[in-house]
């Protein structure tokens, strides 16, 4: 009887621990992102990506449609080559979709916002987004502002 | 002068000898693991005393640590209008650091000291010698099951600690301070990474589990067989475990998150 009780309490303890790890995976972390099917990948080139990072969100109309899976530098054009991994359920994006890098809030993290174009054909795996808008760098804007102010005087 | 150098040398030799016998001890424990896994009922008994009896303290302290994080984080974040990030703050600090570290410190105090006292008393009442006389290897029969139980319990306890702590942070943030619950959970999910944050926290807690149980069992096995010796060994367990946990935590954090 004593042994049986021990086994029951130990079983409950192990179950509680596993439930806790499960909660951390499902409720707290982005584990569900990984269980999604891989979807498809498209590439976009930017003149400047600012503070964009791998795993930054990709949104369309504010809805999350994917994430940044890779960032590299194109050796010939000196542009940043960003690979976007999009969820397969969003497979009806036109080929002339444009990508811009925005900042969430004034000091928030940077993300890529997609805006649909008007083409009839849809983006496929490995396609390239040609219409891109680089990240706004605060120092550049301030610099331009000061420059134009000085010119005006 | 010569006496001073001599005492320094003796101290160095003693330390080296203890380190050496500690590692030999670890080797014997690890060597016994396959056999113990075949007789798992021994481990289950120890899981009861090492793991299950530590659940209560882990639950209560996890809840309060999470609640305090919620309060303190809110006070700072509200100045920047970023109180929606409270979930991220609570989850990252718990999953990455506080979960494994505080849980390991509590584990050392609750279970480690009990293990040392138990083994030390077994030694001073010559139960271990008695087993050896009966050709039963005390390390495999007594020590290794406790070692395995400690390694299994620690990550489970740390996970419970983190989960309860996040819940505590949510209670304070949502119930008391009025943070939006949708933003709390969604920001947390976006910023907490399964591999980088949660799994690294689990790895940390496994490492702490090995180190704390190892120190506790070795101190018990190595204690001088008097009541005073057992008392000193128990103190040493808690102190050395705390040093080892905090030092290793720095090393592990530098390895895991240093590049970010």
Is B190 inside a domain boundary? Answer: yes
What are B7-54's pLDDT values in tens digits?
999 999 999 999 999 999 999 888 888 888 888 888 888 888 888 888
Give residue A34's pLDDT band: very low, low, confident or very high (50, 70, 90): low
The predicted pLDDT at position B115 comes to: 92
The predicted pLDDT at position B206 comes to: 94
Q: Is A28 on the interface with B (CB under 8 A)?
A: yes
Mean pLDDT of the region A10-27? 86
User: Are A17 and B45 within 8 A, CB to CB?
Assistant: no
Mean pLDDT of the region B66-82? 88
Is B122 inside a domain boundary? Answer: yes
Average pLDDT of chain B to the nearest whole number:
89
Q: CA B155: distance to chain centroid?
A: 8
Give residue A106's pLDDT band: very low, low, confident or very high (50, 70, 90): low
Give residue A126's pLDDT band: very low, low, confident or very high (50, 70, 90): confident
Mean pLDDT of the region A37-41? 75
Give the pTM: 0.79
The predicted pLDDT at position A9 comes to: 87
The predicted pLDDT at position B27 comes to: 92
Domain boundaries, chain A: 2-31, 37-143
Backbone angles phi, psi at A48, to 5 degrees: -155, 130
Give residue B150's pLDDT band: very low, low, confident or very high (50, 70, 90): very high
The predicted pLDDT at position B212 comes to: 94
User: Are A27 and B185 within 8 A, CB to CB?
Assistant: yes
* CB neighbour list of residue A99: distance below 8 Å, 6 or more residues apart: A44, A46, A84, A112, A113, A114, A115, A129, A131, A132, A133
User: Are B198 and A7 within 8 A, CB to CB?
Assistant: no
List the one residue out of B119, B129, B124, B132 whose CA is nearest residue B215: B119
Is B16 inside a domain boundary? Answer: no
What are A48-67's pLDDT values in tens digits?
888 888 878 888 888 888 88
Provide residues of B within 8 Å CB-CB of chain A.
41, 44-45, 47-48, 51-52, 55, 80, 91, 95, 152-153, 155-157, 159-160, 162-164, 166, 185, 188-190, 192-194, 197-198, 202
Number of domains in chain B: 1
Count how many pairs of residues, chain A against chain B, have C-beta atoms within 8 Å.
83
Mean pLDDT of the region B239-250? 93
List the one residue out of B202, B203, B210, B211 whose CA is nearest residue B243: B211
Are B237 and B194 in contact by the 8 Å Cβ rule? The answer is no
Give residue A90's pLDDT band: very low, low, confident or very high (50, 70, 90): confident
Q: Which residue of A has its CA nearest to B41?
A: A7
Residues linked to residue A100 through DSSP beta bridges, in sequence order: A113, A133
CA-CA-CA-CA dihedral for B80, B84, B86, B92, to nearest 10: -110
The predicted pLDDT at position B214 comes to: 93
Alpha carbons A61 and B95: distance in angstroms, whole number: 32
Are B47 and B149 in contact by the 8 Å Cβ rule? The answer is yes
Least confident among B19-23, B207-211, B221-225: B221-225
Of the residues A11, A12, A16, the best mutation for testing chain B's interface (the one with the most B CB atoms within 10 Å of its CB) is A16
- Enclosing domain of residue B88: 26-31+39-254
Q: Which of B45, B55, B194 sits opposite A29 (nearest CB)?
A: B194
For the question of an ipTM over 0.90, the answer is no
Report the 10 Å Cβ neighbour count for A14.
17
Is B9 inside a domain boundary? Answer: no
The predicted pLDDT at position B225 comes to: 86
The fraction of chain B above a pLDDT of 70, given in percent, is: 99
The predicted pLDDT at position A149 comes to: 85
Is B226 inside a domain boundary? Answer: yes
User: Are B159 and A13 within 8 A, CB to CB?
Assistant: no
User: Are A14 and B156 within 8 A, CB to CB?
Assistant: yes
């Amino acid at each position: 009887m004593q042994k049986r009780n021990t086994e029951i309490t130990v079983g409950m303890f192990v179950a509680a621990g596993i439930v806790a790890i499960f909660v951390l995976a499902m409720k707290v972390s982005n584990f569900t992102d990984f269980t999604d099917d891989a979807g498809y990948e498209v590439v976009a080139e930017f003149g400047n990506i600012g503070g964009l990072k791998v795993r930054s969100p990709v949104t369309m109309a504010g809805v999350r449609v994917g994430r940044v899976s890779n960032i590299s530098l194109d050796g010939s054009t000196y542009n940043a080559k960003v690979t976007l991994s999009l969820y397969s359920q969003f497979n009806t994006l036109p080929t002339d979709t444009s990508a811009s890098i925005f900042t969430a809030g004034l000091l928030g993290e940077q993300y890529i916002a997609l805006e649909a174009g008007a083409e009839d054909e849809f983006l496929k795996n490995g396609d390239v987004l040609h219409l891109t808008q680089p990240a706004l760098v605060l120092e550049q804007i301030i610099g331009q502002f000061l420059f134009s102010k000085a010119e005006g005087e | 002068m010569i006496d001073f150098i001599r005492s320094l040398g003796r101290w160095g030799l003693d330390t080296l000898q203890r380190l050496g016998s500690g590692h030999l001890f670890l080797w014997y424990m690890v060597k016994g693991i396959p056999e113990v896994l075949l007789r798992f009922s021994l481990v289950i008994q120890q899981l009861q005393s090492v793991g299950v009896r530590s659940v209560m303290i882990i639950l209560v302290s996890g809840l309060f640590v999470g609640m305090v994080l919620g309060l303190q984080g809110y006070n700072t974040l509200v100045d920047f209008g970023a109180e929606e990030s409270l979930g991220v703050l609570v989850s990252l600090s718990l999953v990455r650091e506080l979960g494994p570290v505080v849980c390991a410190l509590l584990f050392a105090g609750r279970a480690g000291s009990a293990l040392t006292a138990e083994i030390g008393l077994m030694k001073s009442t010559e139960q271990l010698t008695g087993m050896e006389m009966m050709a039963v290897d005390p390390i495999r029969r007594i020590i290794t099951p406790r070692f395995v139980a400690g390694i299994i319990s620690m990550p489970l306890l740390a996970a419970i600690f983190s989960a309860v702590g996040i819940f505590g942070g949510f209670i304070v943030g949502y119930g008391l301070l009025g943070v939006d619950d949708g933003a709390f959970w969604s920001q947390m999910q976006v910023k907490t990474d399964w591999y980088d944050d949660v799994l690294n926290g689990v790895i940390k807690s496994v490492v702490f589990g090995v180190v704390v149980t190892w120190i506790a069992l070795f101190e018990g096995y190595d204690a001088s067989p008097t009541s005073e010796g057992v008392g000193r060994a128990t103190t040493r367990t808690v102190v050395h475990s705390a040093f080892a946990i905090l030092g290793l935590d720095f090393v592990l954090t530098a390895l895991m998150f240093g590049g970010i």
